[in-house]
Amino acid sequence: MLYGQPSKRRSSAGQGRGGNASAPRVWKGEIEMPRRKNPVLPIAATVCLLGAPSLCRASSSPGRSTAPIAIRDAAGKTIHLDKLPERLAVVGRGPQYILHLLYMFPEGPGRLVGMEKRGRTASDFLSAVSPDIESKLALLPNPGPESIAGLHPDLVLIKGAEWSPQGEALAKVRIPTVYLSLETPDEYQRDIANLGAILGNLKRAEEIISFYQGRVARVERAMAELRDEEKPSVLVVMGNIRTGKYSVRVPARSWMQTYQVKASGGRPVWLEAAEQAGGWAVVNLEQIAAWNPERLIVIVWHSVNPANFMDWLSADPQWKKIRAVADGKVSYFPSDFYGWDAPDSRWILGLTWMAATLHPERMTNYSLEAEVFDFYEALYGLSRETIRSKILPLIKTDFR
Amino acid sequence: MDLEREKPGHPEWRLWVIVGAVVLCLAVSALIGRYPKPFLTSLSDLSDNELARSLLIHLRLPRILMAFLLGAVLSASGAAFQMIFRNPLVDSGFLGVSQGAAFGASLGIVYFGGTSLGVQASAAAFGFLGLAASYLIARRIRWGDWVFRLLLAGISIAALYSAGTGVIKYLADPHKELPDITFWLLGGLWSVTWPDFWQVLPVAALGLSVILLMRWRVNLLSMRDETAFSLGLRPGRERLFVLSAAVAATAVLVCKAGQVTWVGLIVPHIARRLVGADARRLVPASIFIGGIFVLVCDDLARAALSGEIPLGILTSLFGTAVFIALLSTRRLKLR
């Protein structure tokens, strides 16, 4: 079976509130068929038809992938696995993003043997809700192939979309690697499907994809009739220590924040500036004044209290001359353990929040708290009590 | 009456032309920006548009003055360093100050909470620590003359700091901290406002004043110790005084602007071509040309594209281009 091929049609579980299981769904412009009894079969059939037929050697029982499998990963390479890996290691820039995905699968925690640790913990979120992660071996940043090989992994998951020296070195000692990009919704879909194949649980992969699809579809339906003149001009910025008071950073064109604004019925104004840098680009207040956005959405630096930052911004005489600030149309991106703007599993929470923020009249049944409960229950299996005690108190938002 | 000095080709006459260019550049820079339209702000825009006026007064002017000051300090310090060390390839970053500031800033970003004040304070502290360490190590070296010992110590400290910065970058969170370190290392004046300018002005002005007032003695300090001593100088002490003033002025500006390279190296060479190697004219010419150089680079950085271009990239780009041009046309010289 060749997994990771872009599928033209995917089934949808329609789990989200307002979801209609029988209605066609739309995912990034593709018409999606109504839900079927076995959600895995359409994927299996489609990828076999669209993928390389010579690679479709395995027969999969419903919801389970069996070895051998072949996966086309984010770096565009095809990985053949004779048996499903039992020992997984996670490395690369932003390993927590893969870990957060891995822990959505019941098999994930058990098969994880070690990971690269970029911060004080491999993931503050998992440390809080799944203490077993502390028992995994944590490697220091940028571990060499020998350190990774010391974990005796069957497969190494690497965050990224291009071949890395780590991956090349591991290939030389015959440790297979799979790259996961996780930067856009489409890449998320592909990477979840790949992870499902690796873990032998296509059914769970389909559930996760359906969860995301359901919410994306809900936002797209809400914005379907939106005319261009109804779309507010939106500027998403990161307030940061180095950029100072009157210059900020704007995200790259291909990043999640840009998608979130577009999908939520906004008109991103910063795309020209985003062209010149592969990542964050710095813009000054003169340029922001020239754009004069109707809505300003701030990603507040992690060490800064967002409420204080917003108070300062609203009172500052220079910022007050920008239309969004003058009109009181400034919000900051919510966060819990991680920001909802990041290419983390939480991007879907950020999407629905942004849609409700930009067009509350079109998202009348939106409840931020209910979204949070749904998300953590459906994807991580957390109890409502755990969510209430460990997640909700951490949420920073000005959404009312 | 000295008729020679009134001829257009005379270095003093050229110095006045440079002063005129400074005034012109400052005036034009005030009209360059991104609002209300890209590149040039017309006078009618300034009179009719309150926001344009406000942006000019509160953001553009302090940044323009800071850019000029940065260029002036880096270039004057570079000229003094090149003469005192009798080496055309050194600048004020040579005693570990720039590298120390970079290390301090990286440390501040990763381990001291990353607040603006914390980063600047850490950069300043480690910048000065670099100078102090270079001085103390130079004193412990028991061979070679003072200039040579200071040179060796400076190279060692700079290398040590660079290694430290590399380690911090290696350990930094690639999503939260590494971009900040990278931005800082690339240099830029996008964060400058009036309070920033007033904060650095006293130390920068003091450093520049010392170099300016002692410029004629710098001529003598560029000679061998025995010669300078026989001419009535106390070379060790006076060199340290001039170098300290140059380094202090550089350090406070580097803390605000990040690493802006090549200015201190290249501008003294341009000035030397125009007004000669005599420090009495070389230092003021370096101040003015350096100011123009960074000002023009910063105008491009803030107005050429809708996003800011890191200043350090532009100064490196133009600096190396000029350097290659100078190398291919005539030998670099100090006197």
In this predicted structure, what is the pLDDT of residue A400?
76
In this predicted structure, what is the pLDDT of residue B169?
87
Q: Predicted ipTM?
A: 0.74
Shortest Cα distance from A56 to chain B (angstroms)?
38
SS3 A359: coil
Per residue in A215-265, pLDDT tens?
Answer: 999 999 999 989 999 999 999 998 765 556 788 889 988 889 999 999 999
Shortest Cα distance from B193 to chain A (angstroms)?
8
Residue B33 touches chain A, beta carbons under 8 Å: yes
Q: Which residues of B touch A290 (CB under 8 A)?
A: 34-38
Q: Band the pLDDT of B7: cuts 50, 70, 90.
A: low
The helix-helix angle for B194-213 and B279-303 (nearest 10°) equals 160
What stretch of H or E contains A29? none
DSSP conformation class of A330? E
Number of residues that this document lists for chain A: 400
Does residue A3 have a pLDDT over 80? no
Residue of B nearest to A339 (CA): B176
In this predicted structure, what is the pLDDT of residue A37?
40
Preferred mutation among A237, A241, A338 to probe B, highest tally of B CBs within 10 A: A241
Q: Which residues of B touch A343 (CB under 8 A)?
A: none
Residue B308 touches chain A, beta carbons under 8 Å: yes
Please give the domain boundaries of chain B with CATH numbers for all domains.
12-329 (1.10.3470.10)
Residue B35 touches chain A, beta carbons under 8 Å: yes
Chain-chain contact of A118 with B36 (C-beta, under 8 angstroms)? no
Residues 6+ apart with CB under 8 A from B9: none
Q: Which residues of A touch B60 (CB under 8 A)?
A: 286
Q: Band the pLDDT of A36: cuts 50, 70, 90.
A: very low
Determine the Cα–Cα distance for residues B191 and B1; give it in Å rounded to an integer.
50
Output the six-digit token pair for B317.
Answer: 């780009």
Q: Which residues of B touch A142 (CB under 8 A)?
A: 170
Output the six-digit token pair for B159.
Answer: 């290398």
The stretch B103-118 carries a mean pLDDT of 80
Q: Band the pLDDT of A153: cuts 50, 70, 90.
A: very high
Q: Band the pLDDT of A149: cuts 50, 70, 90.
A: confident
- Between B134 and B179, whose confidence is greater? B134
The stretch A6-19 carries a mean pLDDT of 36
User: Could you tell me if A204 and A6 are in contact, meaning their C-beta atoms sit under 8 angstroms apart?
Assistant: no
Output the six-digit token pair for A247.
Answer: 């210059």
HSE-up (13 A, CA, CB side) for residue A48 = 13
In this predicted structure, what is the pLDDT of residue A21?
36
Chain-chain contact of B190 with A321 (C-beta, under 8 angstroms)? no
Q: What percent of chain A has pLDDT over 90?
A: 48
The stretch A151-163 carries a mean pLDDT of 89
Chain-chain contact of A287 with B306 (C-beta, under 8 angstroms)? yes
Q: Band the pLDDT of A160: cuts 50, 70, 90.
A: confident
Chain-chain contact of B191 with A245 (C-beta, under 8 angstroms)? yes
Q: Band the pLDDT of A65: cuts 50, 70, 90.
A: low
A14 forms beta bridges with none
Residue B46 touches chain A, beta carbons under 8 Å: no
Q: Band the pLDDT of A57: cuts 50, 70, 90.
A: very low
Does residue A356 have a pLDDT over 90? yes
In this predicted structure, what is the pLDDT of residue A289?
94
Q: Band the pLDDT of A323: cuts 50, 70, 90.
A: very high
Q: What HEC string does chain B produce?
A: CCHHHHCCCCHHHHHHHHHHHHHHHHHHHHCEECCCCCEECCHHHHHHCHHHHHHHHHHHHHHHHHHHHHHHHHHHHHHHHHHHCCCCCCCHHHHCHHHHHHHHHHHHHHHCCCCHHHHHHHHHHHHHHHHHHHHHHHHHCCCCCHHHHHHHHHHHHHHHHHHHHHHHHHHCCCCCCHHHHHHHHHCCCCCCCHHHHHHHHHHHHHHHHHHHHCHHHHHHHCCCHHHHHHCCCCHHHHHHHHHHHHHHHHHHHHHHHCCCCCHHHHHHHHHHHHHCCCHHHHHHHHHHHHHHHHHHHHHHHHHCCCCCCCHHHHHHHHHHHHHHHHHHHCCCCCC
* Direct distance between the N- and C-terminal alpha carbons of chain B, in angstroms, rounded to an integer: 27
Return the ∠ at Cα B221 (arms to B216 and B222), rounded to 5°.
100
Distances (CA, A) of B242 to A70, B73, B137, B208, B247: 69, 13, 19, 10, 9
* CB nearest B306 (choices: A243, A245, A272): A272
